[in-house]
Every structure is written in structure tokens, then in C-alpha cells.
Structure 1
Amino acid sequence: MPRLSVFTLLLLACSVVAIPESQAKRTTICSSWCGANTPLFGVDCILQSIKQKGPCYECGPAAKTPLTKEPCGGKCIEKCKGGKKCQNKECQCPYEKPKDCNGECKKFGTDTDCSGCGDKCYVDKGEKCMGGGCKCPDGKKADFTKDVDNCGKCGKMCKKGEICEHGECKCPADKPVFCGDKCKPWKDFKEDNYNCGTCGNKCEGGKTCKNGKCECPAEKPVFCEKDWKCKKLGTDSDCSSCGNKCEGGKTCKNGKCECPYGTYECKGICKPSKDFKEDPYNCGSCGKTCDKTAGEVCKDGGCKCPKGDKPDFKKDNKNCGKCETKCKVEKGETCKDGKCECAHGKKSDGSCKQPKPKS
């Protein structure tokens, strides 16, 4: 059968059905489109277009806009979506993205779709798609929730003894505290002088760890902060309290600094009783001073003149005002308020006047 040209087909169609000029123009447009987009040189498509239907009016240049369909295998189908293209008379995924993932064309072996649809690698945690699976750079498939070598992300290693739980490194329940270089149970902190109660809490100043607390031992029960060590009170260096030091020869007795038996405190210093026998500044007792300007000396615990007299300088005729100052008693002088005086005045020769005889 000889081939018929498009023009010949149009003549045949026009001879059968009389059509308006505007429609004839659309039919002419459709004839070109049908020939390029439908089988059998578009004969059936052209004949349908004369009746204002068929592919040209559904998805061709004569269709109403916006177009919702497209030509595929000689018919109009819904427009291909998700990266699909018309292949074998239907919408199919192309070679470069051959996998249909819920209507969208994807290529497996990528970080977003590694082994299958939606198999997304945790790129922010260091994963990459390798060999059909999401793996860390070392090629290992990691479970970030419990892998101690990749806890929470690639390369994050837990310390010795720790476990990985929900992506966090932590010590196990039976050894809950990480201290030094390993996980330890709470009981280890009860008597550890270097980790008492908590990790790094060191007992100092002679304290020892008891039940998780740093305490001073029974023989030295008081902790003196100034010296930063445990001490026993009641000693000469810490008598009633920390730093209460006994000085000047005193010793601690029953929590008080006292002078030893046979000694007496004088100006903060303990002195034996013999020291008070000849000390002109503490003669007989603390603070009692002999009058050195009057010639007194301390003898046997008393202020006396060198010859042993214990004078009353105010009225002692032998020691008037000071030692060895004698009043001329034979001339009528007497000691009054530390001065030798004549009771009735003096004569021109210095002797005392005698009282007038009573008449």
C-alpha cells in the first residue's frame, strides 16, 4: 500500500467533512504535532483532531492550558513526576536514577540513599556510604548507641572500663564513677585517702578517710587550720585550743598554762622563789621595786639599806630620806618627812635651839 502524505490526508479529511477556517488552522498545527508524537505517522491522531479530540486536544498544542498531561507512546498520560521520564509507553525512572522511592527516582550508593530508599548516612557523625552501607572512615559499620569505639559518632572512643549507652560514654552501674584511669564502685571511695567520698578529694594534715569523710585520728582529734594538720590539745604548743602556746616557762595543765610548782609568774615569766630575794625590781614579790636613788638594795626578799636596816625614810633618824643619812640627834635634830629638822629652829652655828624652860 503506498504511503499517504499528511497533506493528502488533510485533503481527504476536508473532502469528507467541511470545517471552519479557525478549526482548519488548528488541524494544520495538530497534523505536524501528531506526525512527530504519535505512531503511524499520526494518521489516527490527525483524524481525531478534525473532530476536536484526541491527543492533540489532550496534551498537544490544541489543548487547554495549563497542561496536566504529556504525550507518551502515542497517548496522553499524566505528566511524569519525581524525575521519571516517558519510556516504553509509561513513566519510568531513567538510567542515572533507576530506583523508584515512593514516586521519586533515586540512585542508591549515595549518603542519602545508601543501600536502599531512605537509608541515610549520618554525615554529621562522620559516616559515608561505602560498599553499599553507611560506615565510618575506617570501613566499620558502627552502632553509635553502644559502640565503645564509635560512641555517638565515628572515632569517639570511650575510656577503659566505660560502656557506650545511648551514644554517651559512661561507667557501668556496678562501677559508676570514673576516677583516675578507670571506673570504680562507690565502696572504693570510703577509705581511699586520695579519693575520699569523691574522686580527687585528698585527705591532708594527718587525716584519714573513714566512710567517705576525711577525719583526724583518735590520738590527734582536732584539726588546726592554721597549721593545717591534726593535733592533740592539752600540750604546751596547743593547750586549750589550736595555737594556744604556753610561754615564759609555763606548762599546760588541765587546759591552762600554769607555772610549775615552786615558781611564780612575774610579767609573763615563771621565776623561782629565790629570784625574788635579791631582785631590786621584784623584791619579795612581782613588781615591788626598791628605791635605788635612796640607796636601797634587795636582801632576803625585802628592800633594805646596805647595812641591813629596813628604814622608814620619813622618820628614821639613821636613814632620813635615804640610807645612811643621819640626823644630828645630839644637836636636837629629828627626821620629819624624810628631812632632818630642828623642832625649835636653828642657831647661828647650825645647832638646834633648845626649848625655853617652863616658868
Structure 2
Amino acid sequence: MIKFAGERSLKAMAQALMLRRVAVLVVAASLCSAGGACSSGREILAKEGPPVFGSETEEAGADVSPDLLAELCPSTECPPGRVACPNKPFPCAVDLSSDDENCGACGVRCRQDEAFLETFHAIMTCSNAACQLVCSPGYADCNGNVEDGCEVETLENPKNCGACGTVCDVCYAGRCGCKGSDTYCPGAGCVSLYSSDDNCGACGNACPESPESNKPPLPPEQHAYYGCAFGICEQPKCDPPHADCNHDLGDPNGDGCEVADITSDPKNCGTCGNECGPGESCSDGKCICPCGAPCFNLNSDPDNCGLCGFYCPGDNRSRLLQATSLGVADPAHGRPICDQGVCGYRCSSHWGDCDADISNGCETSLLVDPLNCGACGVRCDGIEGQACVNGQCLMKECPEKGGTR
């Protein structure tokens, strides 16, 4: 039986091995009861067996004795389903049931290239030893035909809203209904019942063009009219794109809608009080950097870290691969990062930069490399050919007495 040091399945093995220990404990107890010099059974057992390879004892469970873990010996026998393939350099490195480059058999590769992703809105991943279609967010395979990939868009599709076959009047972000507090009105689409002059407070409730009550006319210089506000007709409101940011609309002595264009005002960009930074301008309600260039955060942008144009070093292939968002293996297994204007490099889970060279990313798989098993520098060298599986040096139950440890 093949085991891994530190693995939780050791718990069951420990219980079986306990039977073998009873005789030793009985002998120890007999010596003590006879008044002879003795030590506890635990101390007697602790003197037996070779050192344990793998993770710390407590990972196997608090109730498993370190002495019982000492019954494990280094192994070269691959667990069921694990094999060595020519495209993976380490023994037992490939799980044929889930390896995207060796799916079901060595060399069978599931497609995950950019061209496939752009054409079919999907990638192929290995599951149960077969390549399976995985759709991009916002797409679905509704006809069950793998040949045309994920052919249906589901974010704004009222016939397949969020999922195949989900039908609704309006679909927004993959959910039936309108965004935010908007309401769907037949013939009008999604509207705000709080501010729509044609659907004020309820669908179809149109406000009159002129107030029916004895309200005073609004001065032209206030750039305002009577319409729907807060779901009530005949309320003063601004002519778009004007805005009332000092909240004095309706005051006869006020300046009305004093902001001429809220879509281009750098002090009230898009909303009142949203002031653009130094050198930025406001366009279409958004602050933009000089010359129309996008804005960067010098504290966190690895392409502009600390100052414009300062590019954090390291393998950046992860920035270029869209498929990583679908769970595809990152070719660099890490990425440059910028933290408070200082460059660094962050490895993906279970990968390490063991050669201390970030130009090739995090090159070492800590799950299968017997020279860096679980962490850089942890060697599986109990015996020649000992493998690393799931970040632990491969072990098995030691032979019975008289066998070779």
C-alpha cells in the first residue's frame, strides 16, 4: 500500500499498526510493574524506525503518533493513475485523469490556445481522463454540440438569460430584470420610475409638459423644467446635461442647475463632487489622463510601478493569456506585482522560483519535483528514484521484520 507522509489517510493505517504495538506496550508495562528501571511505551517506540520524509506530523491528525509515522519507508511505486510521461520530467508526475497535456494517455493534449478561445468562447480541460468543454463567462453550450463550442451569449440574451433556456422580458448581466433599481416597462424597456417623465412612479404614467398646478415658471437661466423627480410629477429638474450640485434648485433666489455639463466638468465628473486629479480631464462622465491616455495607479501597476513607464521585471506571459481566467495553467506560473510602488514577483499556488531567476517565472512545480517537494530545496532522497506526489515525498508501509527498510 502506497502512502504519503503527512497524509490524512495515515490515520487508518495507524490504527492497523497499533495492533503490532500492543505486545511492546505490554512488555513495557510488565517491566514497570516488576519494579525494574523502565521508560514509557512511547519512549521505547520513539527509538525505533527511520526518520519520516514529508510534512509535519500534525498534518496527519493530532491523534496519530509520530512513532507510527516512523513505520513508513521511501517508495518508488507510483500510486494508481499516476504515470511518467515523456513531456513531464519527473516520475509519477502525471495524473492521466486531470492532466491537460496528458489526458487519458501520454501526449493527448486538451486545446487551450488563444485562437480556440476566441473562436469558440471556450477552452478544453481534462476531467475524468477526457477533454471537456469549459465555456467563457457569459457564454454557454446550449445545443450540446462541442463542434461549435459555446455558441450562445447569456449576459443580455432574453431567450437564454444567464443559462440555456431561461426566458425573460429583459436580461441584464445574466439575470432577468433591469440593472439597479430600474423597472421594465413594456414598450419602454428598463426605466427609472423615480425620474422617467414618461413613466413617473409607474409604467405609462407620463408627466404633463406644463405644470397643471399654480407653480411659478422656472427662470431660463436656471436651465430647469418641471418633470418627474422621486417618482412625482411637476418637480423642478435639470435640463440634461446640466446639474444642480449645490442643491438649491427650486429656490427663487438660487442659481438652479449651475453645472453646465456634468459629463465634462472636471470638478463634477459624472456625479456631483467627483473631482478629477491634477492634469486629468473629464470626458463622457469619466476622468481621463492627459492626451486621452488611460490612467495608472503608480502604487499597484506593474507596468508603471512608482513612476510612469517603470516596468517590473520578470516573466509576464500571464498578462498575455486570456485563458488563465478560466483556470488554464499560467505559462509563467506567476506574475510581476507592484506593491506601494515597489516591484516584486508572486508565484502561483504550488509553484516556486527555486532558481532565484524571475526572468523565467516560477519554474518549479512543488507538487512533483523530487528536488523541491512541497517547497524549494526539500529533497526526496530517502532512496534512489523516490518520487514527489502532491508536494509530498512518496512513502509506503515498511516491510515486515526481516525486510529492508
**TM-score, normalised relative to structure 2:** 0.22
- Larger gyration radius, structure 1 or structure 2: 1
Compare relative contact order (CA 8 Å, sep 6+) and give the higher one, 1 or 2.
2
The TM-score, its normalising length taken from structure 1, stands at: 0.25
